[in-house]
């Protein structure tokens, strides 16, 4: 009654390993991408593959479950799968071939030919394994039409409408091409290329061809009517044209029959171009940049945009020249198109505007100074907006009424010293700190003292404060006035109208009015503008 141990065996069944490859191999057009997907029938299986035609092994490139490959060139793909039970599928092979898009050439092209001539026409496929299908009766060719592989020669001796297409080995067809060959007893002259507009400096090689090579071509190149006394050539003539030319020609065959005259006009003009002046750059806010666009030929049309988009023939346009006033950030793009319908390249100019602080200070030196005053500045705000000047600073510029001025670009405030170039109390001011635009300093007098010392009771101004009109009451007629700010700078001057002064445009504040009368007396009065 003794028992053994229990023994266990597990028997597992799984699908036979396999994979699919989609799309299958085939022939594709050069330039296309074939996105190939390899898929194992069990997503835990491992795919092993090669793309060079060699047999794949477990050391080859691999992926679990699925793999995408982008194929753009001739490729032999081989692959198998191995499942988790270590069972392998058979190797599958797909071949992807790439060839040119099918096309054909027909030479010579159709045209008008003399009866009795034979035109040997050659049809050539761009890939010599492609099949040419053609008809010579004007009907549309099909794969049931006459055919030839790679190339076909046809002899044309009568009016023929030739239609043909090719199909490559990948079963891809080209478009149908058509050439019409007409035969006539009337002589014809062909001129190639036809007239048109060309660029100065180019050479146009023009070939005149008679429909019968025994016919004589008569031609002129000055626009006059050709006759049998004009320049001539039998069968064909090459002309090299480099300047404006009106070509006229006809042919006479051996039966002494003349063709109609043909005329071709060849015009030459400069390659289209334009200038933009001034060029783009950085400019100060508040300024206006007057930009002029000029075509190199004044009959050309300028197309332009000012928002950075590419200009087209639907954009704003003008003939010859265009002026633009630019005051804000602008990306200007423009091109020209000449009368020959030839366009220039697009030109781009970028105009950027930035604000710049400008600070102007004023100084009235004592009359004893005999030199142009100087100004030294330092401690600029914002910091670093300008480099500190070195003593004694820069020479100022003469302004009005004995004042000098100096403009500093960059800061909003600075410390100042005005001087005559030397040190000492009689030669320089004290340090004038944190001065801003418009600051004014007079050495010899402050206006508060002027009024106390010079105003006499003979003159009255009213109302005070004043908002619009300041009236002058005096025993003499006023002939001149100046309005002066409290730092001593003259803001306005003129002639009173009926002993009145218009102060409506002044800002609120305290001012001094200097009045000169016809008796040569001068008076100073302080008033408030409200």
Model confidence band, residue 266 (pLDDT cutoffs 50, 70, 90): very high
Burial class of 436 by CB neighbour count within 10 A (0 to 12, 13 to 18, 19+): middle
- Here the tokens at position 310 are 């590419």
Which residue matches tokens 């630019």? 326
Q: What is the mean pLDDT of the chain?
A: 90
Residue 445 has pLDDT above 60, yes or no: no
Model confidence band, residue 510 (pLDDT cutoffs 50, 70, 90): confident
- Here the tokens at position 51 are 């793309």
At residue 389, the pLDDT reads 95
Burial class of 412 by CB neighbour count within 10 A (0 to 12, 13 to 18, 19+): middle
At a CB cut-off of 8 Å and minimum separation 6, what does 170 contact? 26, 27, 28, 29, 97, 99
pLDDT in tens, 484-499: 876 677 888 899 998 8
Model confidence band, residue 12 (pLDDT cutoffs 50, 70, 90): low
Model confidence band, residue 447 (pLDDT cutoffs 50, 70, 90): very low
pTM, 2 dp: 0.35
Peptide bond into 524 cis (omega under 30): no
Residue 524 has pLDDT above 80, yes or no: no
SS3 106: strand
What kind and span of H or E run contains 258?
none
**How far apart, in whole angstroms, are the C-alpha atoms of residue 417 and residue 375?**
6
pLDDT in tens, 319-329: 999 999 999 99
- Here the tokens at position 278 are 């001034």
Of all residues in the chain, the percent with pLDDT exceeding 70 is 95
Residue 456 has pLDDT above 50, yes or no: no
Residue 317 has pLDDT above 60, yes or no: yes
Which residue matches tokens 């593959």? 49
At residue 13, the pLDDT reads 61
Residue 477 has pLDDT above 90, yes or no: no
pLDDT in tens, 187-214: 899 999 999 888 888 899 999 999 889 9
SS3 342: coil
Q: Over range 423-427, report the average pLDDT.
A: 87
SS (H, E, C) 57-88: CCCCEEEECEEEEEECCCEEEEEEEECCCCCE
pLDDT in tens, 238-260: 999 999 999 999 999 886 889 99
- Select the more confidently predicted residue: 449 or 338: 338
At residue 452, the pLDDT reads 37
Q: Over range 446-474, report the average pLDDT.
A: 68
At residue 451, the pLDDT reads 39
Range in 121-125, 244-248, 266-270 the model is least confident about: 266-270
pLDDT in tens, 269-283: 778 999 999 999 988
Residue 455 has pLDDT above 50, yes or no: no
Model confidence band, residue 443 (pLDDT cutoffs 50, 70, 90): confident
Residue 506 has pLDDT above 80, yes or no: yes
**How far apart, in whole angstroms, are the C-alpha atoms of residue 477 and residue 491?**
22
Model confidence band, residue 386 (pLDDT cutoffs 50, 70, 90): very high
Residue 58 has pLDDT above 80, yes or no: yes
Residue 112 has pLDDT above 80, yes or no: no
Are 473 and 505 in contact by the 8 Å Cβ rule? The answer is no
In DSSP terms, which residues pair with 258 in a beta bridge? 252
Range in 48-57, 180-189, 206-215 the model is least confident about: 180-189
**How far apart, in whole angstroms, are the C-alpha atoms of residue 271 and residue 274?**
10
Domains of the chain, start order: 19-99 (2.60.40.2470), 104-184 (2.60.40.2470), 189-269 (2.60.40.10), 274-354 (2.60.40.2470), 358-442 (2.60.40.10), 459-529 (2.60.40.1220)
């Amino acid at each position: 009654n003794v028992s053994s141990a229990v023994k266990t065996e597990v028997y597992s069944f799984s699908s036979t390993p396999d994979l699919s490859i989609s799309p299958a191999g085939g022939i594709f057009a050069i330039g296309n991408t074939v996105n190939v997907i390899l898929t194992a029938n069990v997503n835990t299986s491992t795919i092993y593959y090669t793309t060079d035609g060699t047999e794949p092994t477990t050391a080859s490139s691999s992926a679990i479950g699925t793999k995408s490959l982008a194929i753009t060139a001739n490729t032999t793909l081989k692959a198998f799968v191995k499942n988790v039970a270590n069972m392998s599928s058979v190797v599958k092979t797909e071949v992807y071939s790439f060839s040119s898009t099918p096309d054909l050439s027909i030479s010579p092209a159709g045209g008008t030919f003399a009866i009795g001539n034979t035109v040997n026409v050659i049809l050539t496929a761009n890939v010599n394994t492609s099949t040419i299908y053609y008809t010579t009766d004007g009907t549309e060719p099909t794969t049931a039409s006459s055919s030839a592989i790679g190339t076909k020669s046809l002899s044309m001796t009568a009016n023929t409408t030739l239609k043909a297409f090719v199909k490559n080995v990948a079963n891809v067809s080209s478009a149908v091409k058509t050439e019409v060959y007409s035969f006539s007893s009337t002589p014809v002259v062909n001129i190639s290329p036809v007239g048109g507009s060309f660029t100065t400096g180019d050479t146009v090689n023009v070939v005149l061809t008679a429909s019968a090579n025994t016919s004589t071509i008569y031609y002129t190149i000055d626009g006059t009517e050709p006759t049998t006394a004009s320049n001539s050539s039998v069968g064909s003539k090459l002309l090299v044209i480099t300047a404006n030319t009106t070509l006229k020609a006809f042919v006479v065959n051996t039966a002494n029959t003349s063709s109609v005259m043909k005329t071709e006009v060849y015009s030459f003009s400069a390659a289209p171009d334009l200038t933009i002046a001034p060029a783009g750059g950085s400019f100060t806010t508040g300024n206006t940049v007057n930009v002029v666009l000029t075509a190199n030929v004044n009959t050309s049309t300028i197309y332009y945009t000012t928002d950075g988009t590419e200009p087209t023939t639907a954009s704003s346009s003008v003939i010859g020249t265009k002026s633009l006033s630019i005051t804000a950030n602008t990306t200007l793009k423009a091109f020209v198109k000449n009368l020959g319908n030839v366009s220039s390249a697009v030109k781009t100019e970028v105009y950027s505007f930035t604000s710049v602080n400008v600070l102007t200070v004023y100084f009235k030196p004592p009359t004893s100074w005999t030199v142009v005053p100087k100004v030294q500045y330092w401690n600029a705000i914002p910091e670093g907006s300008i480099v500190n000047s070195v003593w004694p600073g820069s020479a100022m510029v003469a302004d009005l009424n004995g004042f000098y001025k100096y403009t500093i670009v960059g800061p909003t405030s600075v410390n100042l010293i005005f001087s005559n170039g030397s040190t000492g109390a009689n030669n320089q001011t004290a340090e004038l700190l944190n001065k801003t635009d418009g600051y004014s300093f007079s050495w010899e007098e402050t206006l508060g003292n002027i009024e106390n010392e010079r105003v006499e009771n003979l003159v009255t101004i009213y109302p005070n404060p004043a908002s619009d009109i300041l009236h002058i009451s005096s025993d003499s007629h006023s002939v001149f006035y100046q309005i002066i700010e409290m730092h001593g700078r003259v803001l306005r001057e003129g002639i009173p109208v009926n002993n009145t002064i218009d102060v409506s445009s002044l800002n609120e504040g305290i001012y001094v009015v200097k009045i000169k009368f016809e008796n040569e007396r001068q008076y100073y009065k302080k008033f408030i503008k409200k």
